[in-house]
Structure 1
């Protein structure tokens, strides 16, 4: 029955694809378009850049035409033939010009326009006409009512209709080809400032204006001083929404006892802002992911500024649990409450609390190909897990800005997390077939206090102070239960019916960081920045590995070299100079930081001290060809020290088949990073180009030494001095022609690195190549389609053998607003996966669809949806390490059919 149903659904979808193709062809030809072009000048015939042209049709069925002039004052607008329009040309400081325009069958029409200066504009209190788009040097303001139809439900649907702005499925916003990293409402950060919560939850009819702010700085006085490529989005609400309760409540149920309850409630006033977002479901929807967690930690750009910031967050215990996206079952409870209160004109107090409780079941089948120098072999492993995860995050922020010349911010942050899991591992390999039950638990606490102070000291000098204190306490516990001995060559196990192996870890860390920086403006073209800073860290790492016998006795592993009571204290002071100067359109910034490190390490009371000084240069160059085209080059020399876990000198169990031993003598890694980038955006041509080429050279790197015995691994670390290289390229371009956007992007990464396995050193390389070709329609009255084809290949070379994995992926998205009140959405994913070396070839596809109905100006809405319509069982992927190639099947949620009711406040 299942096979019959899937065959019928596949046949139906094939017919649907044919129908969509004909619809697309029909969409492309449903109305003949003409091109209106020309030039806009002032009365002296000087071209006017960024003048707005808005063509409003008499017929409601015809889309609005819009254009902006380029540097030469030229414009192009796509209009429909045989239609009547009212064309308005506007420019700040000039009188708007409105003309009647009737199109014919001509494919191209040329019209020039001249605007007269409005000499009374400075005396006017109210300006009767506001252009749909206002463009300043680094700010674009959209008047949203000029672009929407009234059928939009959420902010994301408004943003999609604004020229130059794109929104992906997750809610990430790109404006003028740059990712928006902060979202504000009425110039105040919305929740943590990330785009996802705002884009997916703010009602469309509450939005009046959208402002895109390029080169955004958190502190206004630092704009132009600190280097910032951040882009922010500010949302201005309509007047009747500036003191109002709005939002919606969504509830639904489905077959096999599926349910969802999702309230999004907002209260806004100029003084008080309260937002609540909740989510309770068992449909696999995650309201808080690793990307959200990363935003709460300051965002990816902030993390990359801190040495090792991104990698330490990605590898943290809580990240490992919330990052999982593919599972057989998931129940999620989530709540977020955000409050902001303006205490005075200069003082704001804001706070948020986020809580989550999730229960997850996972199943993963992995084929591990061990690249042993002596005898390669394959292990088949099955891992199942039932996991419970709870966390609470809270943040309190005080912002004090008495004037433009002074800014003070204090932040207090707390994070509590508790996790427990019950897993089962089945392994089949030439040396053994074993079954291991795993029990894991984690209790974590993090406290962080941060203050920053900026002050304009004089016309030439601006000073900043940043200081923070962080305390982290993690207490993981792991239990392995098996009826066979594991890691026999190193674990001193005593015979027992069931081997009960336990591990207890305690990690406490105190860190303090302070930085004082002076920005000295010598003149408009020369700046000199001086930095002085100190970093302090005090860490203690405690681990106990043991066997609990069925008699209740304890078999300690201390005599076998296990168990740590290790301390690591670090003092880092540094001094930096940066010189920033401009030559024409080129900005150049050479810099150098001298860092002195003093650290103390050792087990219990036996401590040794070390110290060293490192000079780290930096060099940045940026060519601003114009406001929308730049070329940049960056070079940095980076030093990164190992973590306390890598230094602890006694053994610790990493898994049922892996043991790790740190190395107290390790010092810092050293690597060069070079980045070349190019960016171009043209709203006039509908063109966006991004390219980035980076090259890393590792002079000194932390390298694992591995002893393999079957699947058992014995790992330690050394500081490896052989150079390793990594090259990464990303390039993408999109072009809008009429109502269709075409896009292409390509990614390439190449790395060569050494592996040290069983006392042999070999050089391996890895190549990852992918390309995406996409097409998207942007029609107003007919179905819209987005199609993308992705081709990717991962090629691994190890021990003279090459292994290739290939993926062919087709993505199709359909959206159709019809009969005024209905919205149909569908997305289809087809994936063909091949592992030629292992003779594996798998095809899997997935279809999600929904039909939503809500009558205009009515609060009630209804939705019928299906996810994983083909009931696909698993996804397939691959990974590569220095001695292991893994081919993985991850099982996913089954087909879910839901009916939802939405009530809009």
Structure 2
């Protein structure tokens, strides 16, 4: 307890020290032209004569107002600039708050070449913000992440996700070229800070320039411009470290950029638990979280795939990670670029989880205690080659080849204790996957009014997971046909193959500046096969095949979707609307042995999008879509499938499609002048028809089969965020509210369940240049789950502190601390744990060598706590984590 108190007292002393900062005065007013009209987004730069005083800047708002924070009785040269006007420079020395209007004169020679030495720190255009990073950094920054944190309106979280004025960056470019996959994590954690010259934020980004304004893009790209001495040069850094208990880390980053050739190499070998590639990174390869909104079934199918089940583990008792990534881009000529990357990861880890499963909505509720230990070995290789051909500004061609190879194995032990079963089950799993994808996109401007695009994709996938369950007790009695044996060795193997092809042709017809008409014609086809075998390997060598009891499947599933789309895009003042209708003609065929089902269906699926631009920094977006989803092949398998040691599943080949509405409205506003930005996003999902598992539960063992359920279900989520900067303090508030009602069918009883959640986070952070910076926050999360007459409530809280201090020119000290509390209000159970990490980095100015001592989990916490709801389960879990580690690191800058 003493060490924790010392930590808290240190934080309090630092906070007290912030109040001792020097007072500032305010210089404010308007920037006007000679006709007294306000100039919005004019730049003001206040450069002090004294070296120990910071440079400050401001940008005028829509009404031309500016505000500068200055030190009293200090002399500044204030330069005001605006495109098309002569810059104004004057010296000021103030001792109190002052109001001063600045008038700029038009530049009579603006059409001629003019040399202006002054470059504004921030330039704001319609869809672009440009930061000149030298105006914000202090020299101690190591990575791009450290630079971005100091840019106004830019936020970077611990995982490397970047948001600008509340909107997430979805693609990262370096020198206008995609960096690896475009994901922000690899860029912000690896690009050296001293290589960055400018950061460009490009809203409504489109990879094909001629389609900007035609395609609706919500993407935000971040383009990193390198310093001139880094554009034809090898740069990067090498890091190596070691610690007690044989801990080690090796982390090289090497970059080479030239006008025609770019090479990026990132490596990572460690046993410290650092994960270079996560499930979230994998989602970026598959299209990102947009899948969740546009095609929920595709997203959840990806989330539940065998590969991601291995990839999704975040906490471990031990972990060894070997990661390598190589990205190469070569310009063949002025029309042709070829690029490619390969990412390889091999990870070995041990996991342990203790879970209390409370089974609800049954005649006699009961609890199960389950302990799961696993030894996992995950290997994957992902590669991509892209050919880009742009012969003219009116033509664009791109061809992509993508490959993914995975091989994941695990062996573990599951121990379960309940009133119906006490057992230990050994599990052995081996999952192999091959995925090949080819994609062709072609865009051509046919005339002034017509632009056409063609996109064709072919995708081949082969998944082959195998699982063994070994136990000395009978399991799934009455559900699987076991023969009596001294030990029960049960084998489940599965092969899923798919060949998918799709093509879509689209014409963009610009009737005039305010009216567009788009037409689409496309075909999606899928040819899938599903095979599974379930059997028992007896001790005497014989095989007990479950086929005679209705197990094992050999299924073919062919699906065709032919569609025509019509979209009308029109602008009325500040608002742009686009109603759309898609006519789909579906045909599918399911065949298992001699049993064959053929179906046809036509559906009309409307869509609507709207955008209201109240100003460049204030927008409202509206989306609506009626979606249809068809069953995955495993839901159509008519015979039994052994899903796990306590679950058997049987599909239904007669299943039809589901239908659901999805509506979304978002609003955001930001003001660099006021240091304020906020946004709110509301998403509503209503399922008219949905797939529902009918569950027969006996103890912890269950049998389930899907049906098409016609009762409506709803899901509402509202997210909000607001941040305000006052002098050197930034205040943040985040909130999330969710509501979901859904039915479950268990033991022949249909129940309506309701879950509600509310999460609030408030934090304060500082942005000093010469003093310690701290971020303090507090999160509360309340979750309610109501089923029949039972209500369960969890209340979780988290207090967190992040500290960073650059001192004595050559030292950087970082520390973070979190205290988490979990409470089950229904059972009055509570748990608390805290985690802290610290590091001290030293690098002498102008020296390539750096040294760091790093300590993680300094309180040696054993586990993390978590809770969750599912159809009939309430889970409280303890996941064990890596112990305390202390590392000494050596870094060398190339």
Regarding TM over 0.5, the answer is yes
Cα 1:732–1:811 shift into 2, 3 Å: same
Aligned mates of 2:709, 2:295 — CA distance in 1: 23
- Give the superposition deviation at 1:59: 3.0
The match for 2:746 is: 757
Contact 1:785 1:815 in 2 (8 A): yes
Does residue 1:346 correspond to 2:335, yes or no?
yes
- Give the superposition deviation at 1:45: 1.8
- Of 759, 762, 765 in structure 2, the residue corresponding to residue 776 of structure 1 is 765
- Of 747, 769, 772 in structure 1, the residue corresponding to residue 736 of structure 2 is 747
- Of 565, 568, 572 in structure 2, the residue corresponding to residue 583 of structure 1 is 572
- Give the superposition deviation at 1:122: 2.6
- Give the superposition deviation at 1:29: 3.5
Aligned mates of 1:541, 1:60 — CA distance in 2: 72
Deviations 1:766-806 (A, max 9, x none): 11111011111111111111011000011111121001111
In terms of mean alpha carbon deviation, does 785-794 or 54-63 score higher?
A: 54-63
Aligned mates of 1:698, 1:772 — CA distance in 2: 31
Contact 1:373 1:799 in 2 (8 A): no
Aligned mates of 2:293, 2:389 — CA distance in 1: 27
Does residue 1:12 correspond to 2:7, yes or no?
no
- Give the superposition deviation at 1:95: 1.7
Unmatched 5+ residue regions in structure 2?
none
Aligned mates of 2:86, 2:298 — CA distance in 1: 53
Contact 2:560 2:587 in 1 (8 A): yes
The match for 1:621 is: 610
Aligned mates of 2:731, 2:473 — CA distance in 1: 58
Aligned residue runs from structure 1 range 793-812, under 5 A: 793-812=782-801
The match for 2:855 is: 866
- Of 479, 489, 510 in structure 1, the residue corresponding to residue 499 of structure 2 is 510
- Give the superposition deviation at 1:61: 3.0
Aligned mates of 2:293, 2:211 — CA distance in 1: 20
The match for 1:385 is: 374
- Give the superposition deviation at 1:632: 2.3
SS of the residue aligned with 2:302? helix
The match for 1:44 is: 35
Deviations 1:837-891 (A, max 9, x none): 2332111000011000001111000001111111111111111112111111111
Aligned mates of 1:702, 1:850 — CA distance in 2: 50
Deviations 1:17-72 (A, max 9, x none): 22322322321331101111011112222211111011122333322211001122
- Give the superposition deviation at 1:299: 2.6
Does residue 1:484 correspond to 2:473, yes or no?
yes
Contact 1:873 1:893 in 2 (8 A): yes
Aligned mates of 1:395, 1:368 — CA distance in 2: 43
Does residue 1:224 correspond to 2:241, yes or no?
no
Deviations 1:323-377 (A, max 9, x none): 1111111000000000000001111100001000000100000101111421111
Does residue 1:112 correspond to 2:136, yes or no?
no
In terms of mean alpha carbon deviation, does 201-210 or 13-22 score higher?
A: 13-22
Tell me how many residue pairs correspond in the alignment.
Answer: 894
SS of the residue aligned with 1:646? helix
Aligned mates of 1:373, 1:295 — CA distance in 2: 40
The match for 1:243 is: 232
Deviations 1:616-655 (A, max 9, x none): 1112222111111112222111111110011111111111
Aligned mates of 2:808, 2:647 — CA distance in 1: 62
SS of the residue aligned with 1:16? helix
SS of the residue aligned with 1:29? coil
Does residue 1:67 correspond to 2:67, yes or no?
no
Aligned mates of 1:84, 1:168 — CA distance in 2: 37
SS of the residue aligned with 1:893? coil
Does residue 1:292 correspond to 2:281, yes or no?
yes
Contact 2:597 2:654 in 1 (8 A): no
- Of 79, 82, 85 in structure 1, the residue corresponding to residue 70 of structure 2 is 79
What TM-score do the two structures reach when normalised by structure 2? 0.99
SS of the residue aligned with 2:90? strand
Aligned mates of 1:356, 1:220 — CA distance in 2: 35
The match for 1:571 is: 560
Deviations 1:737-756 (A, max 9, x none): 11101111111111111110
- Of 806, 817, 827 in structure 1, the residue corresponding to residue 806 of structure 2 is 817
Tell me how large the CA RMSD over aligned residues is: 1.2
Aligned mates of 1:419, 1:723 — CA distance in 2: 39
In terms of mean alpha carbon deviation, does 672-681 or 458-467 score higher?
A: 672-681
Contact 2:138 2:769 in 1 (8 A): no
SS of the residue aligned with 1:344? coil
Contact 1:172 1:195 in 2 (8 A): yes
The match for 1:537 is: 526
In terms of mean alpha carbon deviation, does 161-170 or 285-294 score higher?
A: 161-170
Contact 2:76 2:93 in 1 (8 A): yes
In terms of mean alpha carbon deviation, does 603-612 or 506-515 score higher?
A: 603-612
The match for 1:92 is: 83
Aligned mates of 1:194, 1:373 — CA distance in 2: 45
Aligned mates of 1:289, 1:376 — CA distance in 2: 37
- Give the superposition deviation at 1:604: 2.4
- Of 677, 680, 690 in structure 2, the residue corresponding to residue 691 of structure 1 is 680
The match for 2:203 is: 214
The match for 2:174 is: 185
Does residue 1:283 correspond to 2:272, yes or no?
yes
Aligned mates of 2:390, 2:676 — CA distance in 1: 40
Aligned mates of 1:82, 1:526 — CA distance in 2: 58
- Of 438, 460, 472 in structure 1, the residue corresponding to residue 461 of structure 2 is 472
The match for 1:457 is: 446
Contact 2:166 2:721 in 1 (8 A): no
Cα 1:744–1:303 shift into 2, 3 Å: closer
Aligned mates of 1:164, 1:54 — CA distance in 2: 18
Aligned mates of 2:851, 2:623 — CA distance in 1: 52
What TM-score do the two structures reach when normalised by structure 1? 0.98
Aligned residue runs from structure 1 range 538-687, under 5 A: 538-687=527-676
Aligned residue runs from structure 1 range 105-504, under 5 A: 106=96, 108-124=97-113, 126-301=115-290, 304-306=293-295, 308-504=297-493
Contact 2:140 2:812 in 1 (8 A): no
- Give the superposition deviation at 1:895: 0.5
Aligned mates of 2:347, 2:768 — CA distance in 1: 40
The match for 1:3 is: none
In terms of mean alpha carbon deviation, does 125-134 or 397-406 score higher?
A: 125-134
Aligned mates of 2:567, 2:361 — CA distance in 1: 49
In terms of mean alpha carbon deviation, does 170-179 or 466-475 score higher?
A: 170-179
Aligned residue runs from structure 1 range 783-862, under 5 A: 783-862=772-851
Does residue 1:101 correspond to 2:57, yes or no?
no
Contact 2:821 2:830 in 1 (8 A): yes
Deviations 1:245-273 (A, max 9, x none): 00000000011110000000011101000
Deviations 1:222-244 (A, max 9, x none): 10011111111111111111100
- Give the superposition deviation at 1:444: 0.5
Aligned mates of 1:209, 1:243 — CA distance in 2: 17
Aligned mates of 1:302, 1:455 — CA distance in 2: 27
- Give the superposition deviation at 1:84: 2.1
- Give the superposition deviation at 1:103: 2.8
Deviations 1:404-429 (A, max 9, x none): 11100000000000011001000001
- Give the superposition deviation at 1:304: 4.4
- Give the superposition deviation at 1:688: 0.8
Aligned mates of 2:51, 2:419 — CA distance in 1: 72
- Give the superposition deviation at 1:210: 1.2
Contact 1:653 1:660 in 2 (8 A): yes
Aligned mates of 2:7, 2:422 — CA distance in 1: 48
The match for 2:47 is: 56
- Of 715, 720, 744 in structure 1, the residue corresponding to residue 709 of structure 2 is 720
Aligned mates of 1:166, 1:677 — CA distance in 2: 19
Unmatched 5+ residue regions in structure 1?
1-6
- Give the superposition deviation at 1:306: 4.6
- Give the superposition deviation at 1:687: 0.8
Does residue 1:34 correspond to 2:19, yes or no?
no
Aligned mates of 2:529, 2:476 — CA distance in 1: 27
SS of the residue aligned with 1:558? helix
Does residue 1:894 correspond to 2:893, yes or no?
no
Aligned mates of 1:583, 1:371 — CA distance in 2: 54
SS of the residue aligned with 1:291? helix
Cα 1:161–1:627 shift into 2, 3 Å: same
